[in-house]
Structure 1
């Protein structure tokens, strides 16, 4: 089971928007404790989103939140050992794990692309997630497809 940490209680909203979700994303984006660098990358990506046409006049923070919402998985497969055999059993995903998987998938997708500044890659992936496309959204779709394919083993989910 997961550990219970005080981080959720202590977390403050990000400086510009006051969003706890943005603050969590910045913390996950941060490497080597360089929070100001992570904030600059995140806010530059939001500025890039506001310059683009695909947002349909929405605030960039709303585009970010909607992209994260679109990428969150609702069901996943977990390995369950029953009678000497391992089965991929589809299970519901709780809200905290949905959020962490979505953030992780976006950052994996962004970090896997090479050759461009981080804020541009992040803006691209967030816009793709908003439009229900891109690498992170594909990962979500594959997870859902895998769960659908293994629905026969759902009776092992106890």
Structure 2
């Protein structure tokens, strides 16, 4: 685990928390900071981050992770109330292969709407295509054994 207390000089999200990089702030508490995404997938798409630097899901201390998830849930309720979203996606990307581009743990809070003019998000895969049951069971055993 890295030194989460030390902000990274080249981390844009650390710069946002420090107030040296501008943002459209939504909320802040002792542990977390929320701001609008500059490349939104839908109207009201925002990010919730821990104030302490952690690179990703595997680097963040449990207490910062819990605080970030709870803040995201609270803010998602505000998004529904203020913007009329009918659903919300919470998304975390950990690692470049999973589309992480800023290496400071963050949760995307993505409001979802029936009106597609307010929502450009689509699924990256086609649901409803179950894989081989034996392969699924084998992966379940492998993951369970690794725990």
Normalised to the residue count of structure 2, the TM-score between the two structures is 0.25
Compare the two structures and name the one with the higher strand fraction: 2
Compare the two structures and name the one with the higher helix fraction: 1
